[in-house]
Chain A
Amino acid sequence: MNFGNLFKIAVKALGNNKMRGFLTMLGVIIGVASVITMLAIGQGTKKSIQSEISEMGSNMIMIHPGGDMRGGVRLNSDEMESLKLKDFNDIRNNTKYVKYVSPMVNSAAQAVYGANNTPTTVYGVNLDYLDIRNYAVEAGDVFSDQDIKVAAKVCLIGKTVADELFPDGTSPVGKVIRFGTIPFRVVGLLESKGYNSMGMDQDNMIIAPYTTVQKRILAITHVQEIICSALSEEYTDQAIDEISSILRVNHKLKETDEDDFTIRSQQEISDMLNNTTNMLTILLSAVAGISLLVGGIGIMNIMYVSVTERTKEIGLRMSIGAKGRDILAQFLIEAVLISVTGGVIGVLFGVAASLVVNFAAHFPIFIQPWSVVLSFAVCTLTGVFFGWYPARKASMLDPIDAIRYE
């Protein structure tokens, strides 16, 4: 008995029961389509978060003052003044794995130009900051080291600030804006970066020399944050170790003391977000997988009924020379055909549904080839697995009883 003939027989048998075949398939179609769609949404979310993280500046390391204990009370870490410029200088001069490093102090206030004003934040940093965060200058220039030295009142402004203050579209470069009460000369306009994954507008900012923000706005000598980037992503851990040991020495911490600072890397954040999205993907796929399982049980159910209903046909086939394994193969092929056809349609539906989700809800989607291959393989296995029992039952029938079955 050759496979081609069995295949023809199975196709023919399915063709005789199109409606039933279709309804059985529907379970698989829905299962596969939802698996594909859910994976596409999960993967899409993950990918968009990843790309936004790398846009934010990959291999970024952020150093914040840690919460300290004073008389048993843990203090708000934002109020700590433990990070000093010396820490920044030491990190810059004494590390091997740190590429860029910038102190950071910031202050929020209204920016004003003429009759226009907008709430924004000024970030006091050095020029490394632009490299760490992947900012580029669209028009004008950056401020100079000399500006930092003399705490010059110069700044770079983000697109959002520029749009708010200069709604008529004139170039802000060279204009003098006020931040609170302090006038700043705009030396450059930053290229737009859009919103990050947390929904923060990365263009609503002013960048000024850190010395200016420290002295002229905040009147402080410490820094609120130090931001660095490792040589590359794989050196992040080494860089963190170096920074940590420098800070511990500078802050005169004993072996047993806790760090009075916290170091967070982009890596960490990206790992955390990845974990979250992975969880989401697993959850969604599990739900989708259950519908695929239900679809598979649908196949088993229908094949089982079909075997009982077609007992006479099986008896006939056996009496004219079909062997048990021919019957087994026929019913297995039928089950697999249902599941694979359902799988193909399901993949198409899934891809279409994903695109609809993307189009209608602007949800990021990403259809990974493996998810298609996987759901396809699962489909075939579902067919074999759930088709096996009914097919086996059919093949075990006694032709004498089967042919006289009413």
Chain B
Amino acid sequence: MKEVIRLENIKRNFIVGDETVHALRGVSFTINEGEFVTIMGTSGSGKSTLLNILGCLDTPTEGEYYLDGTAVSTMNKNQRAALRNRKIGFVFQNYNLLPKTTAIENVELPLMYSPGISAAQRKERAIEALKSVGLGDRLMHKSNQMSGGQMQRVAIARALVNNPAVILADEATGNLDTRTSFEVLVLFQQLHESGRTIIFVTHNPEISRYSSRNITLRDGHVTDDVYNGNILCAAEALSRMPQPEE
């Protein structure tokens, strides 16, 4: 199995006034290609800080982070921006789509910042990504004409379009109702089955039952790291739900 993420004793301190806050106090784990990992923790557990470091938005105070074999902690801002562009697909809680912009244009966005891709290629890959999340018929819909679930699927397509090494989801179902949450979860499970590496940060324990591995953070330490022997099927759960009233 190929190693996609390797954290070696990651520490991250913030200086707030005169005090030093230890957000991460030595976190180490590795994630292999094809894993669907949920990272859980209450607020203040260091979850967000870890996500920022995993997403190459932040660098650790101490320790080393290898993303797809590349050491990140010594990179400068621009190098990390380029790395994010190639290796990471973000899915945010509040979708973060560009307003008044079509699905295709939203999905194309990461490719706009990566050199050497023609407009035609860009469009083709965006359409492909949108089809893979089941929005093949909503290509020209603008972000304000879509439901929350659709917007999140556009965001997932955007995360996929660069063919990243890892998809980082930050409370990706947090803004959705239960039914739509499960629809999105089904999509993540499909991506997992097709071999994608997914890290899903959440405080909802239910989601961990649908992932292949769960890491729990508490006070800046990994307190629990278990592989899920009995992955539930989100599609099944969805089918058991009462149909929405028409």
Interface, chain A (partner B; CB < 8 A)? 1-2, 5, 8-9, 12, 16, 312-313, 315-326, 399-400, 403
Contact yes or no, A322 B113, CB < 8 A:
yes
Segment touching A, from B36-44, B82-90, B203-211, B236-244: B82-90
Which residues of the partner chain B approach A8 to less than 8 Å between Cβ atoms? 112
B105 is contacted by which of A12, A318, A320 (Cβ under 8 Å)?
A12
**CA A181 to CA B41, docked complex, whole Å:** 119
Contact yes or no, A400 B109, CB < 8 A:
no
Contact yes or no, B82 A316, CB < 8 A:
no
Contact yes or no, B84 A319, CB < 8 A:
yes
Task: Please give the distance in Å from B67's CB to the nearest CB on chain A.
Answer: 14
Contact yes or no, A320 B90, CB < 8 A:
yes
**CA A323 to CA B75, docked complex, whole Å:** 13
**CA A1 to CA B57, docked complex, whole Å:** 19
Contact yes or no, A324 B101, CB < 8 A:
no
Contact yes or no, B113 A12, CB < 8 A:
no
Task: Please give the distance in Å from B159's CB to the nearest CB on chain A.
Answer: 8
* Contact string against A for B residues 75-117, beta-carbon threshold 8 Å, 1 for contact and 0 otherwise: 0011001101110001010001011110001000110111100
Contact yes or no, B101 A12, CB < 8 A:
yes
**22 pairs, A vs B, C-beta closer than 8 Å:** A1-B115, A2-B115, A12-B105, A16-B98, A312-B96, A313-B96, A316-B98, A319-B55, A319-B84, A320-B90, A320-B110, A321-B81, A321-B82, A321-B110, A323-B78, A323-B81, A323-B82, A323-B113, A324-B77, A324-B78, A400-B52, A403-B57
Contact yes or no, A318 B81, CB < 8 A:
yes
Q: Does B128 contact A (CB under 8 A)?
A: no
Which residues of the partner chain B approach A5 to less than 8 Å between Cβ atoms? 112-113
Task: Please give the distance in Å from B57's CB to the nearest CB on chain A.
Answer: 5
Which residues of the partner chain B approach A318 to less than 8 Å between Cβ atoms? 81
Contact yes or no, A320 B78, CB < 8 A:
no
Which residues of the partner chain A approach B58 to less than 8 Å between Cβ atoms? 400
Contact yes or no, B57 A321, CB < 8 A:
no
Q: Does B196 contact A (CB under 8 A)?
A: no
**CA A281 to CA B170, docked complex, whole Å:** 62
Contact yes or no, B57 A400, CB < 8 A:
yes
* Contact string against A for B residues 112-133, beta-carbon threshold 8 Å, 1 for contact and 0 otherwise: 1111000000000000000000
**CA A166 to CA B55, docked complex, whole Å:** 98
Q: Does B11 contact A (CB under 8 A)?
A: no
Q: Who on chain B is nearest to A406 by CB?
A: B94
Residue of A1, A16, A317, A321 with highest tally of chain B CB at under 10 A: A321
| Consensus secondary structure, chain A interface | helix
Contact yes or no, A16 B96, CB < 8 A:
no
Which residues of the partner chain A approach B100 to less than 8 Å between Cβ atoms? 16
Task: Please give the distance in Å from B56's CB to the nearest CB on chain A.
Answer: 9
Q: Assuming A1-B115, A8-B112, A400-B52, is B98 touching A321 (CB within 8 A)? A: no
Which residues of the partner chain A approach B92 to less than 8 Å between Cβ atoms? 316, 403
Q: Who on chain B is nearest to A4 by CB?
A: B119
A319 is contacted by which of B90, B98, B114 (Cβ under 8 Å)?
B90
**CA A317 to CA B100, docked complex, whole Å:** 16
Which residues of the partner chain A approach B110 to less than 8 Å between Cβ atoms? 320-321
Cβ < 8 Å to A, chain B residues 6-47: none
Which residues of the partner chain A approach B99 to less than 8 Å between Cβ atoms? 16
Q: Does B158 contact A (CB under 8 A)?
A: yes
Task: Please give the distance in Å from A15's CB to the nearest CB on chain B.
Answer: 8
**CA A323 to CA B80, docked complex, whole Å:** 9
Which residues of the partner chain A approach B78 to less than 8 Å between Cβ atoms? 323-325
Task: Please give the distance in Å from B44's CB to the nearest CB on chain A.
Answer: 16
**CA A403 to CA B112, docked complex, whole Å:** 19
Task: Please give the distance in Å from A316's CB to the nearest CB on chain B.
Answer: 4
Contact yes or no, A320 B85, CB < 8 A:
yes
Top 6 nearest A-B pairs by Cβ distance? Answer: A321-B85, A323-B81, A321-B113, A320-B110, A316-B96, A5-B112
Q: Who on chain A is nearest to B95 by CB?
A: A316
Contact yes or no, B84 A321, CB < 8 A:
yes
**CA A315 to CA B92, docked complex, whole Å:** 12
**CA A317 to CA B114, docked complex, whole Å:** 12
Q: Assuming A1-B113, A1-B115, A400-B58, is B101 touching A321 (CB within 8 A)? A: no
Contact yes or no, A399 B85, CB < 8 A:
no
Task: Please give the distance in Å from A395's CB to the nearest CB on chain B.
Answer: 10
**CA A221 to CA B104, docked complex, whole Å:** 98
Task: Please give the distance in Å from B60's CB to the nearest CB on chain A.
Answer: 14
Which residues of the partner chain A approach B114 to less than 8 Å between Cβ atoms? 321
Task: Please give the distance in Å from B121's CB to the nearest CB on chain A.
Answer: 12
Which residues of the partner chain A approach B81 to less than 8 Å between Cβ atoms? 318, 321-324
Q: Who on chain B is nearest to A5 by CB?
A: B112
Contact yes or no, A323 B115, CB < 8 A:
no
**CA A321 to CA B83, docked complex, whole Å:** 7
**CA A320 to CA B101, docked complex, whole Å:** 17
Which residues of the partner chain B approach A9 to less than 8 Å between Cβ atoms? 112
Contact yes or no, A399 B109, CB < 8 A:
no
**CA A322 to CA B78, docked complex, whole Å:** 8
